[in-house]
Structures are given as structure tokens and as C-alpha cells.
Structure 1
């Protein structure tokens, strides 16, 4: 009979517990070993048709039913259960030379009111996603210290500090490691600056180093994002995004649209656009419809959530939200547009600057933006353009008139008698 040993380590990201699982076969030899940390960010709908973010982590009351060793014909399974009806599992298959994870199954229970207060949908919700783990040589240990994430169906799963080996041979954990792509030293991870990162100049320098002026951060590139409901586009967004983080020192971070993916939800009265820039930065924009019962209905931006993670160990650098916005207001069925820079104050330590914004979270037709309602800053520009053109035409008319007067005077002078 297979046996599962389970231990809990110190708390980390989102107060999640480190987990060590050692599955043994009938001869009490290890056949599947894993040690990792994980947490979940879940967007759910409330009874008031708003959407909220819930954080779900492994707690101390974890069980481990259903894990199996697997063999040449049967997949191995690593399964844990925790909290009020939540569970997570991943299955592994092997060839003659390699093993790899296939599918992750995650079930969260919205009856857990401590995690999902005022949830509209009650009961267990299950999602199944394809694991991105690449094949690993048999008898090798798969290691990934950096944070990895998988997004699907309003759920972002975070994993870090992972050590894993499926189909362990002869009960002995392998000595060779197979590292994930995130752990390879091809590029240095982005780390927010601290005082410890500042290098001071040597006191033995004979002449002072030339003072260099920091290069100003350029405006971010504009990205195009969309969401689908079935085969139809239900949300369109075009925007350049820049984060202004004020911690020890101000830091401007441009969101690169080339590495940013879009996910989220569409609804009749609420919609959420979730952006993941691929560098452990997550931004959620939530839109709602006001005056839902009136003839003329409008939408606006109500809430913004931002999470910045340390790319090295998955710890939270910054988590901020503001659910009291009343910005980007436009008629339902129209789009909102603002070409000029705008600033969203999330909290004292975080601002979001937007550039070349155009957004339509409801009633998108034929995959195209509807007629835009422009922001006041852009309308000022539209007023200035005809004024400037009018002034230029006025000066031109005056110049023509002066030239005409001078021409007539010269003509009269030519016909005077001597």
C-alpha cells in the first residue's frame, strides 16, 4: 500500500506553506517526490455583480489522498487537499527516457466565505490546464526556484522553490538536476533597487568621476489587447502603461506589450481586463455599468489591482488596489479615448500612467471600436486646432490685404505726371 509523508515549512509568498511530499510504493520505497510552494489569485463575481480578487494559499490543514506512483501504463499523480474544500493535483507520464507533467487540476470552493466573501456562484469550481513543464530525463530531478505562473479561467496559479522527481527508480532520488528556463542565467531578473544595491565610489580615486545625468524613461509602447466570449470579441483595449513605484526610491516601469498577455472576464454589467507582462507584474482593470435601469447607460473604470512579485523568490514586492475610481466614463456601446497622458492614483506608493488610451469593455461589434467619447484633455486639443488654423488664416488675410494696398500705391505712383 502506498504511503504519503507530508511536512510543512515556513511561510512565504501570500503566507503559503512550503510542502514536501514523499510518495512510497508497496515496498516502502520512494516513487514520487516533490517539494514546492504555490498560491492562487482568483477573480470571482459577487452578488452585486462586481468582481473581486481572492488569494488562496496552502494552509496547515492539508491532506494528501489519491497520490499514486504510476508505472509504464499508468500516470503518476500528485494530489493535495487543503482549506475548506480546495484541492490541487498534477499527473505525470513517462516514455522510455523522460517524464513530464501533463495536466493540472485545481478545484476551489466558493462556499469558503473567508476566502470568497459574498460570492455569487456557490460550490466547487474546477479548472484543468496544460502544464508547461518540459520533458525531464528519467532519474533526473526537476528544479525551479524562480516563480512560474499559469493563467486560465480567472485563476492565476503561482509556483516557486520547486524540486520534483516522478517515477523515482530504486527508491533513490537522482543526483542530476534539470533546471527550468527561468533559472537559467541568460538574463538577470528585475529587482527593485534597495540601499544595499548601491555601490559607493572608492575613496582612493584621484579625480572625481564625471557626473552623468540619468536618462529619462521614455513613454511606453502602445499595446493592443482583447478578450473573447466564445468566438466573439467582448472587450477591446489600446493603451501604453507605465508604473510609478514610490518605495525607497522612485522607479518607473514601462509595461512591454510584446511580452504582455491579456485575460479576464466579460459580463453584461461588469468586465475585467487582466494583464500579465511576463515579468511577475499583474494589473487588473475592472469596469462596471452604472444606471443599469435607465435609458441612457454608461460605463466607467471602478477598480484597479496591481501585484508586483520578486522574480527570484516569488515574494510580494507590492500589492495595491483602489476600488473607488470613477474614471474613463462613456456611454454604453461607445468607446472611451484619451490620447494624452493620464494618471491613476492606486495608493501613496503606486501610480499608473496611461498613454494613447482607447477602451471598450462592453457591446463590441465586429471586433472594432465603436465611436469614441474623448477625454476633456483631448477635447481641449480639438478646440485649439481650429483656433490655431483660424488665427493662421487671419494673419494670411491681413498679409494679402497689406500686399494689395502696397501694390495699389505703387501703381498710382507710376501714372503721376512730371
Structure 2
């Protein structure tokens, strides 16, 4: 039977025992399939129902010790083995399996009045060469994330059309077009809806280019008046970010970030540190800082150590990845990366600092401007930055005034010496007249 759609969304389709319906999802980078799971109990009554779309953005290490981003989406060969109804003493479980050894599940518990998701378990298999063609680590990798879903009233359907994301351990999970009810009573899906915060009128989704954090940097000509001067864009606020390995801080960063996106119009996007979270990985020779600004924008900075066998080792910024998503449906607005940088070079055990504005050219359509930068991706001690090595443009700016000052000082000394010797000679000439 072909799926039918109405302007208000998908029409309910006839359900069978433990059926799974796959519908082709949105096109683009995150092409995915919509999944509908209807779990039945022993009496063939619906006890757990869910329909949603999801995709995964996974950062993995390659055989050359670099890091790449892989996109994993649901395919047409999805199963839902292991899904169970749950009861007052046992958690309900919604589980799906797809692709070459990938699986995802979420469990639900309930009280007398509400139900909620407790945690999500996601397993991806790096033996899937179509997704991870050069993965260094082979085999299944499992991550468990505590879900942040608010409790939902029993008999209510939880609905969230906007994109939600959960990030942990180099994996970002995206969900959208979600309809869910756990612990369905009497086999009947509830008529009342509980909406996620992103769907409420007071927190409308943010969509480029109408985002409040985006400033249009363009000039407007009003004929016959002359071209107006664009309003200056304020520099972004400086954020402080850190990563931990166990209980020990392994990476420190202080920076203000501004994205310069060249699409139909140049867009300057200031990254707000108040809503930005940091995640990533630390290693002996490679480290990645991932920033999620809370508005479906992700920036990855990858650092590596060069001259690893030399006595004096240095680190530098090697790769930057930027992904901008549509907050409503999870589709990619922009995805760009540059893995040929040799920026922010400093001695291992030191930090790199540059107070001046710098520009990272990701590609022709995207630049990143940095302000008040200080970064230390390796050998952090006592949660503090080590001695900083300034960027070369700033060092040059210090050398020029020092050189000019030294020259002026030398000139003053010469003038004083000339005056002193000239005055002394004049006095000696006066004595000879007597």
C-alpha cells in the first residue's frame, strides 16, 4: 500500500503485528528513511508506537591518524528486533537495526502519571566500509547517552517536528518529525499531544538566513541616493571551552568565533558562547575540539603534533570542519572542511595565543574569523594554560615600535653628546683669551 500524506502530515496507516513501515525521507546530505514501529502485546493490542526520522554524524580516526566525518542514515533494510512493551516493573524498549551492523534503541520507564525516555544506546560498526572506508578502529562501537526528554503524561502522544540533537563521544544524533507514545493503554493511541519545547510558539525554530544571530553584511543602493554604508558588525563574545579525559583537563580554548558565509548574500554569524557546548577527543598526537552552538551549527578543530620523534615537538591546527543544518528538518545548509591547514603553530607543552583577528579560509563560500584566541590542545597541567607563544603578526607589531623607539633613543643620545662636546669646546676657547 502506498503511503498517503495530507497537508497536516501523514495519515495513519493500517497497522499489523510488530510492523515496520519505511518511507523515503528528505533529500540531501542527511537523506534518511522515516521509521514507523508499532509494537503489539500478547493480545495483539498496540503497546508502543513511534514514527520518526534520524541521522548520525560520526567523527572517526582514519588509518593515517587523521579524523573524518561520516554520515550514517537509515536505509530501507531496517528491522526492530528486541522491541518490548514494558509494564510497571519492566522498561519498554524501542529498538531498530539497520545497515551493516548498526543499531539504535531507547528505553522508557513510567510512573503512575507519566512516562519518559531514560537512555539511548547507539552502536555503529566501522567494518561498514561504505560509511567508514579507512577507519583505524574496526568493529562495533557502542555509546550510551542519558536522554533529556521531559516526562509525558500517560495517554499523551509526544510530538516534535523540529530537529533535536544529542551529542556524545564523537557522535551527534539528529531526530525530527517524531511522534511517540510508550505504555499505550487499551491499544489506543492517545488524542492529546505533548509538544517539545522547539515546537512551541515561544521558541520558534531558527532557520537560516532569518536567524537573529545573523547579520547581513551588504550595502543597499537607494536610487537616486548614494549607496549606504553597511552597519558595522560587532565582534563576537569570547568563549571559554575545555575537554576532559577522565577527571583531568586535556584541552583548553578561549576564542571568539564568527562565520562568514557567502551564499546569495554575505552572512556574518556570531557564535554565542552562552549557548555553545564543547565536545571532542584528546590524544597524544591528535586532538579534536567540537563546538555545538545550540542552533544546529557544528565546528570541529583538529590539531596534530608534528616532528613526533624530534626532541622539540610542535603542534598546529590541521583541519577544520563546519556543518550548518536546517533546524526544522535536519537537512544540510552548508558542509565544508579544509584539512590542509598549518595554522596556530606552537611548541608542545605551550599554548598558542593571538589577540588580533585571524581568518581561516575553509573554502570559497566560508571563512571563520577568530578573536582573542588562546588554545592548548596537548599537555595541559593543573587546568591552566601554559606559557603562550604569540602569533607572528602580533610579534611583528611589537618589533616595529621597539625598533623605532630604539632609533629615537639613539638619536637623542647623539644630540646630547654633540651638545656636550660642543659646549665644552666653547668654554675652552674662552679660557685661552685670558
Question: In which range does the TM-score fall when normalised by the shorter chain?
Answer: 0.7 to 0.9
Residue 130 of structure 2 aligns to a residue whose secondary structure is coil
Write the deviation string for residues 49-95 of structure 1: whole angstroms up to 9, x where unpaired. 22221111111111110001111111111000001100000001111
In structure 2, list runs of 5 or more residues that go unmatched. 1-24
Q: Is the 8 A contact 2:251 2:376 kept in 1?
A: yes
Could you say if the C-alpha distance between residues 89 and 287 of structure 1 is closer, same or farther in structure 2, counting changes exceeding 3 Å?
A: same
Give the superposition deviation at 1:215. 2.6
Secondary structure of residue in 2 paired with 1:11: coil
CA distance 1:212–1:31, change in 2 (3 Å) = farther
Matched, 1:284 2:300: yes
When residues 315 and 163 of structure 1 are mapped into structure 2, their CA distance, relative to the original with a 3 A threshold, is same
Q: Structure 1 residues 397 and 93, CA, compared in 2 at 3 Å: closer, same or farther?
A: same
- The answer to whether the Cα contact below 8 Å between 1:13 and 1:39 also exists between their aligned partners in 2 is no
- Contact 1:84-1:112 at 8 Å conserved across structures: yes
Whole-angstrom distance in 2 between the partners of 1:139 and 1:111: 41
List alignment gaps of at least 5 residues for structure 1: 1-8
Q: SS where residue 261 of structure 2 aligns?
A: strand
State the Cα distance separating 1:365 from its structure 2 match.
1.3
Q: Is the 8 A contact 2:70 2:132 kept in 1?
A: yes
Alignment partners' CA distance in 2, 1:203 and 1:383: 35
CA distance in 2, matches of 1:258, 1:371: 27
* 1:337-393 deviation per Cα after TM superposition (whole angstroms, max 9, x unaligned): 11111111111111100111111111111111111121111112x535743882797
> Any conservation in 2 of the 1:237–1:360 contact (CA below 8 Å)?
yes
**Displacement of 1:407:** 17
- Quote how far apart the aligned CAs of 1:237 are: 0.8
Structure 1 residues 192, 409: closer, same or farther in 2, change over 3 A?
farther
Write the deviation string for residues 322-348 of structure 1: whole angstroms up to 9, x where unpaired: 111111111111111111111111111
User: What SS class does the counterpart of residue 413 from structure 2 fall into?
Assistant: helix
Secondary structure at the aligned position of 2:201 is classed as coil
| Alpha-carbon shift at residue 187 of structure 1 (Å) | 3.6
Partner of 1:365: helix, strand, or coil? coil
Corresponding residue to 1:65 among 75, 81, 96: 81
TM-score, length-scaled by structure 2: 0.83
Q: 1:210 to 1:130 in 2, by over 3 A?
A: farther
Equivalents in 1 of 2:215, 2:381: separation in Å? 55
Inter-CA distance 28–254: structure 2 relative to 1 (3 Å threshold)? same
Shift of 1:109: 0.8
Alpha-carbon contact 2:217-2:231 (below 8 Å) kept: no
- Residue deviations 1:13-43 (CA, integer Å, cap 9, x gap): 6111111111111222211111111111111
Contact 2:317–2:341 at 8 Å: present in 1 too?
Answer: yes
Give how far 1:129 is off.
0.8
38-47 vs 89-98, which moves further: 38-47
Q: CA deviation at 1:294?
A: 1.6
Displacement after TM superposition at 1:254 (Å): 0.3
What's 2:238 paired with? 222
Secondary structure of 2:401 counterpart:
helix
**C-alpha contact (below 8 Å) 1:13/1:314 kept by paired residues:** no
d(CA) in 2 for partners of 1:316, 1:374:
36
- The size of the alignment, in residue pairs, is 409
Given that residues 11 and 17 in structure 1 are in contact (C-alpha distance below 8 angstroms), is that contact kept between their aligned partners in structure 2? no
Query: Are the structure 2 counterparts of residues 214 and 61 from structure 1 closer, same or farther at C-alpha, using a change threshold of 3 Å?
Result: same
Alpha-carbon contact 1:10-1:18 (below 8 Å) kept: no
User: CA shift at 1:409, angstroms?
Assistant: 16
SS in 2 for 1:104: strand
Q: 1:414 to 1:96 in 2, by over 3 A?
A: farther
Q: For residues 119 and 239 of structure 1, what CA distance do their matches in structure 2 show?
A: 31
